[in-house]
Every structure is written in structure tokens, then in C-alpha cells.
């Protein structure tokens, strides 16, 4: 089954959503990330996706104590990303109980450090491939690099990376719907399965992603859940339908 995964984006200790990664366009939804995590656990979430937005921008975890408390507040697995570019911060999150650690910039900016992380816990790594027009975006989406997203994924798969997040930056936080052809092309070209993020706004989007078949491991649900355009239990029932 495709996993429905609520997102918890944290900025200055609060649960927020950005529009297309723009730090000037912030909506605050809660001042207690742990309570939000417990809410999604009660709703039946099988996994949580937590992002330290300040960390993603600065390159160093900024909300570690908040995220550590969140992990300890729930029984379900939590995957964590945002500013994890050193082995020490990678280990800190593993030791704090993160089921998976989400990496992005370090993969291409510092391959030696990434290789070290692979040796430590390859099976607990998720690589987030954030794209704008097929090319990779880094540093909290502030830097574009001339690397084709599908080629990067292919190379990482050969290194043994098992889990990938594919984010369509142009749609993230916009509620404008998914571009299923962009997702499909990435899966076809790279040969990897993905967790999809970016632009998911309604039942139709869930159905579109589901129709892509075996290449989909999960769907990260963000703004649509927080503004009430999607009901989490309803999403679960759609994904469970034959």
C-alpha cells in the first residue's frame, strides 16, 4: 500500500507551511509540533515527515531539541530532514530515535560525508530530490545545480540508496495540484520508487498519484491537510481501495 505521510515543517519551534519554499511566505499552524505529531498518530498515520526549515536554509540543525521531543512523543516512525550535512548531526538524529534521516544538499555538495553516512546506516537514509524543471535544487531550494534529477537518482540507486522523496518545487505549498506527468517521467527515467511531495490538494491528486502504480512508495501531505482541503482518514481510505 502507498503510505500517506503527514508533513510537519518546523520554523522557530512552530509548525508552519511555506509557499514554494519561500521563507517570506509563512503560515503558522501550531506552536506545539509534538501535539501535532500526536494528532496525526491518532488519525492513523504510519509515518511522519518532519523538516527543520531553518536547518535546511542554514545548513545546521536549528530545531533539534523540538524534533527530539516530537520523536519521543509518538510511537510511530519519524523521518527527519533539514540541515543534516555533517556526520555528527546525522548520528544525533539516529540516536534521538529517527527511523529515517532525509538528506539532500550533502549528497552533491559533500559526497565524502555522504559516503560516510551510507556506511553508518544506508538503510535509514532517504534522499530528497527537490526539482525545478527537471534539475536539482539545494540549500533550502535557494541554489540550482546543473544536475538532472533522474540522473542523480539513478547514480544513488547504484550506491544502494533505497528511499527517495521527489518534490516538485513549483507546486510545493501552492495547492495547485500535482503534475503527474513530471512524476511519471522521473520514475521512468530514474528507475526508482518515490515518496511524492508538492502541490497535493484534493482527492483527485491522490487518485492521480495512486494511478502511477508500483513506482510510488508514499505521499507526503502538507498544506492541504492543515487548511482542511484533505481529510487524513479519507486519504487513507482512497489509498486502501483496490
Question: What is the pLDDT at residue 169?
Answer: 73
Q: Is 202 a catalytic residue?
A: no
Q: What pTM does this model have?
A: 0.92
Domain at 3-240: CATH code: 3.20.20.70
Report pLDDT for 136: 78
pLDDT of residue 20: 64
Query: For residue range 25-58, what is the model confidence (pLDDT) as tens digits?
Result: 899 999 999 999 999 999 999 999 999 999 988 9
Q: Is 130 a catalytic residue?
A: yes
Check if the beta carbon of residue 67 is closer than 8 Å to that of residue 80.
yes
Q: How many CB atoms lie within 10 A of CB 34?
A: 18
Determine the length of the chain: 242
Per DSSP bridges, beta strands 3-11 and 14-19 are: antiparallel
Q: How many CB atoms lie within 10 A of CB 152?
A: 20
**Summary mean pLDDT of the chain:** 91
Annotated active-site residue in 22, 52, 130, 205: 130
Domain assignments of the chain as residue spans, ordered by start: 3-240
Q: Which residues pair with 102 in a beta bridge?
A: 81, 126
Local structure of residue 2 (DSSP, 8 states) = P
**Taking CA 108 as the corner, what is the angle to CA 154 and CA 20, rounded to the nearest 5 degrees?**
90
The answer, yes or no, to whether residue 76 has pLDDT greater than 90, is yes
The pLDDT value given to residue 198: 85
Q: What pLDDT digit, counting tens, does each position of 128-168 carry?
A: 988 877 667 654 445 566 678 899 999 999 999 999 999 88
**Per the residue annotation, which of 9, 168, 172, 205 is the catalytic one?**
9
Amino acid at each position: 500500500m502507498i503510505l500517506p505521510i503527514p508533513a510537519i515543517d518546523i520554523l522557530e519551534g512552530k509548525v508552519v507551511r511555506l509557499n514554494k519554499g519561500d521563507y517570506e511566505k509563512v503560515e503558522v499552524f501550531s506552536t506545539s509540533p509534538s501535539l501535532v505529531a500526536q494528532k496525526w498518530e491518532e488519525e492513523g498515520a504510519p509515518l511522519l515527515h518532519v523538516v527543520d526549515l531553518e536547518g535546511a536554509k542554514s545548513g545546521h540543525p536549528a530545531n533539534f531539541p523540538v524534533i527530539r521531543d516530537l520523536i519521543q512523543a509518538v510511537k510511530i516512525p519519524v523521518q527527519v530532514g533539514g540541515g543534516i550535512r555533517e556526520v555528527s548531526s546525522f548520528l544525533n538524529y539516529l540516536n534521538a530515535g529517527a527511523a529515517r534521516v532525509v538528506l539532500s544538499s550533502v549528497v552533491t555538495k559533500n559526497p565524502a560525508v555522504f559516503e560516510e553516512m551510507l556506511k553508518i546506516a544506508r538503510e535509514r537514509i532517504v534522499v530528497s530530490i527537490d526539482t525545478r524543471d527537471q534539475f536539482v535544487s539545494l540549500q533550502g531550494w535557494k541554489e540550482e545545480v546543473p544536475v538532472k534529477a533522474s540522473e542523480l537518482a539513478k547514480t544513488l540507486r547504484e550506491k544502494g540508496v533505497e528511499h527517495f522523496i521527489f518534490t516538485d518545487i513549483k507546486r510545493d505549498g501552492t495547492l495547485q495540484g500535482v503534475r503527474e506527468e513530471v512524476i511519471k517521467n522521473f520514475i521512468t527515467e530514474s528507475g526508482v520508487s518515490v515518496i511524492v511531495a508538492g502541490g497535493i490538494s484534493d482527492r483527485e491528486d491522490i487518485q492521480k498519484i495512486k494511478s502511477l502504480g508500483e513506482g510510488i512508495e508514499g505521499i507526503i501531505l502538507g498544506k492541504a491537510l492543515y487548511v482542511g482541503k484533505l481529510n487524513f482518514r479519507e486519504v487513507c481510505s482512497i489509498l486502501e481501495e483496490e
